[in-house]
Structure 1
Amino acid sequence: MTMAAAIESQTADARAWSKASRIAGVDIFHDLAAAETVWRGFETSKQFYTPYQRFDFVAAWQRQVGEREGLRPFIVVGHDSERRPLMLLPLAIESRLGARCASFMGGKHSTFNMALYDRDFAANATEADLATLLGSIAERSRVDALALHQQPLNWQELPNPMALLPRQPSVNDCPLLVLEAGAAPTALISNSFRRRLKGKERKLQALSGYRYYVATESADISRLLDWFFRVKPQRMAEQKLPDVFAEPGIEQFIRTACLTPLADGNGHVIDIHALECDDEVIAIYAGVADGHRFSMMFNTYTMSGNAKFSPGLILMRDIIDRHAAQNYRALDLGIGSDEYKRLFCKSDEAIFDSFVPLSLRGRLAANALSALNRAKRTVKHNPALFEIAQNLRSMFR
């Protein structure tokens, strides 16, 4: 029996598959608070999840952004016969192409999307497990389709169980730097590049109070964010890009996540790395970290004359060296192919999308969304088409 057949016949096939599946039942929550306890139970070193799916990250996004956009939480928990949670899908429902579609909470601010898993379950998950999960969702909800974007094929050296579903490459790639254990600094960033950055940094080191640090105090975090929300719109206007940080709820979401400490005390939900001197903030990079990977979310640099000394690249070097010294194994600079990312990241993270129909109406929507994403990827990876698309976007803007 194929996965496609299992999805198509939904309830009946789910019951047949369940005999071979460890998922014995599914709970569905439409309230973040109701799911919080089981959700946080997945956030331990013994479980399998990305920092973009931490409860505090997703809750801040949903309450500040998702609710404003009319998205309703749809949190799916699969459990075994003894009701031990095996996985949690942090989704939200929206109407797309006339169908009720469930997608990962976090929107475009989440580089990677993945369920939270019991690590042993994730390591041995089967098509039967997923067929049971999908059949239960179809039977117990009115969701027509799952539209699951930007999922990693692997995370922390384990395969992502959702890759067993029908899938296609995501629209964009994610530049990745693998940090080999014990690698010399020059293996991560070449000697010649380091020398160039060191030459530029000498100019900055002459500034009074020049320093690199990770913000830990609330006052510093708020001050750096105040600066970011003043400067970033100017930088985006220079590039003739829309100010995505001005969209409703985004600033509140970012401030909440940056100011929320992690339960284990190792940083915040979003960490801010900064270069500054006594007179000004020179550059910041903000991202999420989990002891294994640092993943960049947003950044900007000064509008002053100090910008000519490449402070963003210097800060990126400091971040790479810091995390390599802490035995991190990977670092990514977020979705997109900006030129500066290729100075550090020579490979790409394999990420995929899945559009899974759960009803006839959902099949029409899933097929249309799949085709749209394939078209977007074609444009993004064809320089001539991409230039045309950029020109058209500028004209309409």
Structure 2
Amino acid sequence: MTMTAAIDGRTAQTGHRANASRIAAVDIVADLGKAEAIWRELESQHGSHTPYQRFDFLAPWQHHVGEREGASTLVIVARDAERRPLALLPLACFRNYGVNVASFMGGKHSTFNMALWDRDFAIAATPADMTALVAEIAEHGNVDVLALHQQPLTWRELQNPLALLPHQPSVNGCPLLVMEPGAEPAARISNSFRRRLKGKERKLQPGPRYYIATEDADITRLLDWFFQVKPLRMAEQKLPNVFAEPGVEEFIRAACLARLDGGGGGRVIDIHALECDAEVIAIFAGVADGHRFSMMFNTYTMSGNAKYSPGLILMRDIIDHYAAAGYRALDLGIGSDDYKRLFCKDDEPIFDSFIPLTARGRVAAAAMSGLNRAKRQVKHNPALLEMVQKLRGTLR
């Protein structure tokens, strides 16, 4: 059932906030279909959001993954006094810590979480605007706490207005490569590293072919290969197979096959592949928006060709591809895997917010915040991290 906050009379009831904030009303929509039109409108108006907030990315996630996890749709639309949309928060609500918790849709498959913002509003947004937004959600959303993870401080040099609320650093940063237009290839990847990769590439015979999958048949074939090989790789690393969780494979297949803008353009998730003769030897998949490529998932062959580092060769090709297309940045997803540091020397800071909306939510927000701080402390303390990793290995 869709629950839409009543708008008539709201401005009069909250007039003391209207003087300080452009947000005059909030609609709360519990049906993705009824949120789609305004969602796509904000996408098409060149607003501020990451590719992870596209409707065609999050709708299949919510349908295939979120609903199976018991998460209900909670789309928040903030409007001004003329009913123009200023922001859309694509949230999912679930029970945790005995309270109603609202978090961004996408779960662990979304590297960055944001609202979709009207660009002009985002530029001028103030703490008073965000306070008004939170107050409206608290009044009408039936939510105890907002747990908003992995938010960028800025996106495409525009502030993220939610950073105006109380927040803390996320457990991990995001390895980032900034690419200056027209820069020499060595500015992205050093000449010595390029020579090393070229030497490995020469040992792959016949020479490997790099491409982006554009046809449905190729996308399906590459995903079939990925879902066979990835569990073997994760078992080899003694890691749980997150891709075996209910609905995840269906979500990834749907998003990889979905076309941007519903037409003949690129895909919601692009798959980059490296093949050697008839063998797929590596894939990287991620989202792109004309400015930045953000990697989501990857794997490489279990055959003897693995010793020639096909994943690193593919990463070099992807970086050069997006540099040639005028992209300004590329990230390799949350985490500090060793291969990421070969390409990305810096981390982009990201933040989490735990915002209580009720008395019960205050206790839950404090617990979530404390747990995240503890995780961050472990991650950034080599001795503690080694202890935890040994313990996990023993338990497994």
Q: TM-score, normalised by structure 1?
A: 0.95
Any idea what SS the aligned residue of 1:49 has?
Answer: coil
Report the counterpart of residue 273 of structure 2 in structure 1. 274
Say which is worse superposed, 329-338 or 136-145, in terms of deviation.
136-145
Any idea what SS the aligned residue of 2:272 has?
Answer: strand
Report the counterpart of residue 308 of structure 2 in structure 1. 309
Measured in 1, the distance between the counterparts of 2:353 and 2:281 equals 40
Measured in 2, the distance between the counterparts of 1:95 and 1:13 equals 30
Report the counterpart of residue 249 of structure 2 in structure 1. 251
**Amino acid corresponding to residue 259 of structure 1 in structure 2:** L
Report the counterpart of residue 170 of structure 1 in structure 2. 170
Contact 1:13 1:135 in 2 (8 A): no
Contact 1:51 1:290 in 2 (8 A): yes
The within-5 A match list for 1:74-153 is 74-153=74-153
The CA deviation at 1:387 is: 1.2
Contact 1:18 1:129 in 2 (8 A): no
Q: TM-score, normalised by structure 2?
A: 0.95
* C-alpha spacing 1:45/1:293, structure 2 compared with 1 (3 Å): farther
Contact 1:286 1:298 in 2 (8 A): yes
Measured in 1, the distance between the counterparts of 2:222 and 2:90 equals 30
The CA deviation at 1:96 is: 1.5
Any idea what SS the aligned residue of 1:108 has?
Answer: helix
Report the counterpart of residue 3 of structure 1 in structure 2. none
Post-superposition CA distance 1:167-186 (Å, at most 9, x none): 00001111000011211111
The CA deviation at 1:267 is: 1.2
The CA deviation at 1:15 is: 4.8
Gaps of at least 5 residues in structure 2 are 1-10
The CA deviation at 1:393 is: 1.6
Report the counterpart of residue 285 of structure 1 in structure 2. 284
**Amino acid corresponding to residue 307 of structure 1 in structure 2:** A
Measured in 2, the distance between the counterparts of 1:394 and 1:47 equals 45
Any idea what SS the aligned residue of 1:281 has?
Answer: strand
Report the counterpart of residue 372 of structure 1 in structure 2. 371
**Amino acid corresponding to residue 220 of structure 1 in structure 2:** D
Report the counterpart of residue 25 of structure 1 in structure 2. 25
Gaps of at least 5 residues in structure 1 are 1-10
The CA deviation at 1:396 is: 2.3
Whether 2:57 is the aligned partner of 1:57: answer yes
Contact 1:78 1:85 in 2 (8 A): yes
Contact 1:154 1:160 in 2 (8 A): yes
Report the counterpart of residue 352 of structure 2 in structure 1. 353
Post-superposition CA distance 1:368-397 (Å, at most 9, x none): 100000000001111111111112222223
Post-superposition CA distance 1:204-248 (Å, at most 9, x none): 2x327x310000000000000000000011111111111111111
Report the counterpart of residue 387 of structure 1 in structure 2. 386
Whether 2:240 is the aligned partner of 1:242: answer yes
Whether 2:224 is the aligned partner of 1:221: answer no
Measured in 1, the distance between the counterparts of 2:247 and 2:134 equals 32
Contact 1:15 1:132 in 2 (8 A): no
The CA deviation at 1:265 is: 4.0
Measured in 2, the distance between the counterparts of 1:112 and 1:345 equals 17
The CA deviation at 1:141 is: 2.2
Any idea what SS the aligned residue of 2:363 has?
Answer: helix
Measured in 1, the distance between the counterparts of 2:12 and 2:111 equals 36
**Amino acid corresponding to residue 326 of structure 2 in structure 1:** N
* C-alpha spacing 1:12/1:346, structure 2 compared with 1 (3 Å): farther
Post-superposition CA distance 1:95-131 (Å, at most 9, x none): 1211111000000000000000111111110111111
Whether 2:345 is the aligned partner of 1:322: answer no
* C-alpha spacing 1:200/1:166, structure 2 compared with 1 (3 Å): same
Measured in 1, the distance between the counterparts of 2:13 and 2:380 equals 39
**Amino acid corresponding to residue 83 of structure 1 in structure 2:** R
Any idea what SS the aligned residue of 2:260 has?
Answer: coil
Contact 1:18 1:128 in 2 (8 A): no
Any idea what SS the aligned residue of 2:362 has?
Answer: helix
Contact 1:17 1:131 in 2 (8 A): no
Post-superposition CA distance 1:67-89 (Å, at most 9, x none): 00000011000011111101000
Report the counterpart of residue 4 of structure 2 in structure 1. none
The CA deviation at 1:17 is: 2.5
Say which is worse superposed, 302-311 or 36-45, in terms of deviation.
36-45
Measured in 1, the distance between the counterparts of 2:387 and 2:73 equals 37
Number of residue pairs matched?
385
Measured in 2, the distance between the counterparts of 1:247 and 1:68 equals 10
The CA deviation at 1:43 is: 1.2
Any idea what SS the aligned residue of 1:42 has?
Answer: helix
**Amino acid corresponding to residue 78 of structure 1 in structure 2:** A
The CA deviation at 1:333 is: 0.2
Measured in 2, the distance between the counterparts of 1:352 and 1:14 equals 30
Contact 1:14 1:135 in 2 (8 A): no
Measured in 2, the distance between the counterparts of 1:125 and 1:48 equals 13
**Amino acid corresponding to residue 72 of structure 2 in structure 1:** R
